[in-house]
Structure 1
Amino acid sequence: MIFGVPLQALLGQLVLGLINGSFYAMLSLGLAIIFGLLNIINFAHGALYMMGAFAAWMLLNYAGIGYWPALILAPVIVGLFGILIERAFIARLYQLDHLYGLLLTFGLALIIQGLFRNYYGVSGLPYAIPQALAGPVSLGFMILPKYRVFVIVFSLAICLATWLVIEKTRLGAYLRAATENPKLVEAFGINVPRLMMLTYAFGVGLAALAGVLSAPINNVNPNMGADIIIVVFAVVVIGGMGSILGSVVTGFGLGVIEGITKTYYQPASSTVVFVVMAIVLLVRPAGLFGRAS
């Protein structure tokens, strides 16, 4: 017993919290990449997360393409849509105040969600778990569906790989340099506009990938992005705006905190993220891993 709660129940909630944390981490990672490297507050991120889930659902129901190919194809499709958004709208805002990007992407999110809501309604559409991941697995202290274990492990792997690429490779160095001094990077023969376009596409592709992972757990719904995006923005603020490592660590950490809160006082689980955000901003306005301007 820990503070009146059986250890088995507490460990079970921690694991369930890691599942939510997996989605928080992947979504906030995409947001951090777009803000940290492009200085754009991408409020359309939740809508693009929803598009990833719908892309997987459409591939299955309209083209007969199953989960595993959709895990690759859906992020690519949404990433290509992100390229259209970046070329048509975002590219015009790089030199302007952050507020313009926030307002534009917020409007785009409303348009995208409205279109899907009008066509598919608001009731959730089921998406089957792949056969290879069906069934339970025993963790010793609880029985958990295999698919949820896969989500945690896969999300960790994607987040780690993304961090390594951005922080430890030459490509990541080019991306960071293009943000700081684009003219100098262009002098080395790097196509900076193309680099920024692909960076935005990669960020929204991560959101779409999280949407595909979420589809078998949470029914595919036009409102699924709106329900999670506010929490994800709080995760990014707590971790530090633009901090890749901060977004990943905070995403998984807040998922765990939500799980613990559900164990002791479930009504507070929906607000604990914002309480943590308020405390962090009072103590460290730049966020846990952010740097002061």
Structure 2
Amino acid sequence: MLEHALNIVTTASIFFLVSAGLLFVLSVMGVVNLAHGAFLTVGGYSGVVISQIGLNPWLSLLFAPLIGFMVGLVTELLLVRRLYNRPLDTILATWGLSIVLVQLLSTHFGRSAHFVDEIMTGMPYEVWGLYISPYKIFVVAIAVSVGLALYLALRFTDAGVVARAVVLNPELARLLGINTRVVNLITFGFGSALAAFAGSVIVPMSSVDPNMGTPWVITAFMVVLVAGFSLPALGISALLLAAAQVLATYYVAPVIGSVLVIAIPIVLLRFAPDGIVGIMKSR
């Protein structure tokens, strides 16, 4: 049971990291960003570059979000900004952008898989007869830190107040003097930075290839759909779907675990259209 609990917490931490940027962009801007997976892949290749040029692997945690932020700013300025209030066009445009980014990465790095060394190394820790990788503990600590930082920033900073004002009523926020165009620009850049950061965190646990972000963007959407527009609910959603995947993979088959990540959101939204947020508000 302890091994299952550890795997669930680790998987939930990864789910939270890969979906936080998507939730941020969707809740503030109302934009469904299908390029989220490509931005995550950019973060993964940032770790590859840092490794190839022989720099300290810890620098990938700074380099990846910086690159993601800049790519996000350019994307919002040249593409997304022209498509506000046109959700279908935004979906198609960001999907097209993801294809372009994947092809660019394939051209430069090739289609073969790359591997990155773990940032945290050393002997596994023994807890009650179970050996725990230091990197798994690191991933959980990163997810908790990111979640707390985002929550505190949204609640207790001026930038957080502005972001919540735009979420609640963008027209009123504009009338009150808030430059919503700048808010949207920074939001999209920050969401892209979170995606790239997640990519740099998870790549030591898997390989990096141009299509790395495709399955992750699907998972991220499922986690966000179950959660609704709430950061605490996102954590609960990540734990729920991680538990379903880990337990089904162990007791049934890996394919069933993957199917449940998609099936649970569909069933839940049938009875709770607002997701976990709606359930929490109804109590």
Normalising by structure 1, report the TM-score. 0.88
- For 1:225 and 1:238, locate their aligned partners in 2 and report how far apart those are by CA, in whole Å: 20
Q: Work out which of the residue numbers 119, 127, 135 in structure 1 matches 2:116.
A: 127
Cα deviation per residue 1:59-80 (whole Å; 9 max; x = unaligned)? Answer: 2313x32222221121011111
Q: Which moved more, 1:87-96 or 1:186-195?
A: 186-195
Contact 2:116 2:203 (C-alpha < 8 Å) held by counterparts: yes
Which residue does 2:85 correspond to in 1?
A: 95
TM-aligned CA distance change 1:176 to 1:93, over 3 Å: farther
The within-5 A match list for 1:38-53 is 38-53=29-44
> Post-superposition shift, 1:184?
4.3
- For 2:149 and 2:233, locate their aligned partners in 1 and report how far apart those are by CA, in whole Å: 15
Q: Work out which of the residue numbers 246, 252, 255 in structure 2 matches 1:259.
A: 246
> Post-superposition shift, 1:47?
0.7
Contact 1:49 1:225 (C-alpha < 8 Å) held by counterparts: yes
Percent of pairs identical after alignment? 27
Normalising by structure 2, report the TM-score. 0.91
Contact 2:18 2:199 (C-alpha < 8 Å) held by counterparts: no
Which residue does 2:204 correspond to in 1?
A: 216
SS at match of 1:143: strand
Q: Work out which of the residue numbers 158, 163, 179 in structure 2 matches 1:175.
A: 163
Cα deviation per residue 1:77-119 (whole Å; 9 max; x = unaligned)? Answer: 11111100011111122232x2221111111111111221233
Contact 1:29 1:248 (C-alpha < 8 Å) held by counterparts: no
Would you say 1:18 and 2:6 are equivalent positions? no
RMSD (Å) for aligned C-alpha atoms: 2.0
Identify unmatched segments of 5+ residues in structure 1.
1-9
Aligned residue identity for 2:219: V
TM-aligned CA distance change 1:202 to 1:112, over 3 Å: same
Q: Work out which of the residue numbers 230, 233, 238 in structure 2 matches 1:243.
A: 230
Contact 1:123 1:221 (C-alpha < 8 Å) held by counterparts: yes
Which residue does 2:101 correspond to in 1?
A: 112
Q: Which moved more, 1:183-192 or 1:19-28?
A: 183-192
Would you say 1:282 and 2:270 are equivalent positions? yes
Contact 2:9 2:239 (C-alpha < 8 Å) held by counterparts: yes
- For 2:196 and 2:127, locate their aligned partners in 1 and report how far apart those are by CA, in whole Å: 29
> Post-superposition shift, 1:186?
4.6
Which residue does 2:58 correspond to in 1?
A: 68
Q: Work out which of the residue numbers 74, 78, 101 in structure 2 matches 1:84.
A: 74
> Post-superposition shift, 1:181?
4.0
- For 1:38 and 1:70, locate their aligned partners in 2 and report how far apart those are by CA, in whole Å: 28
Which residue does 1:3 correspond to in 2?
A: none
Which residue does 1:144 correspond to in 2?
A: 132
Contact 2:50 2:59 (C-alpha < 8 Å) held by counterparts: no
Cα deviation per residue 1:136-182 (whole Å; 9 max; x = unaligned)? Answer: 11222410210111101111111121122123433212112124444
Contact 1:134 1:147 (C-alpha < 8 Å) held by counterparts: no
> Post-superposition shift, 1:275?
2.1
> Post-superposition shift, 1:213?
0.6
Q: Which moved more, 1:114-123 or 1:176-185?
A: 176-185
Aligned residue pairs, count:
279
SS at match of 1:220: coil
Cα deviation per residue 1:186-234 (whole Å; 9 max; x = unaligned)? Answer: 5555433222211111111111111111111111111110122112211
Would you say 1:198 and 2:198 are equivalent positions? no
Would you say 1:156 and 2:156 are equivalent positions? no
- For 2:28 and 2:226, locate their aligned partners in 1 and report how far apart those are by CA, in whole Å: 18
> Post-superposition shift, 1:14?
2.6
Aligned residue identity for 2:38: A
Identify unmatched segments of 5+ residues in structure 2.
none
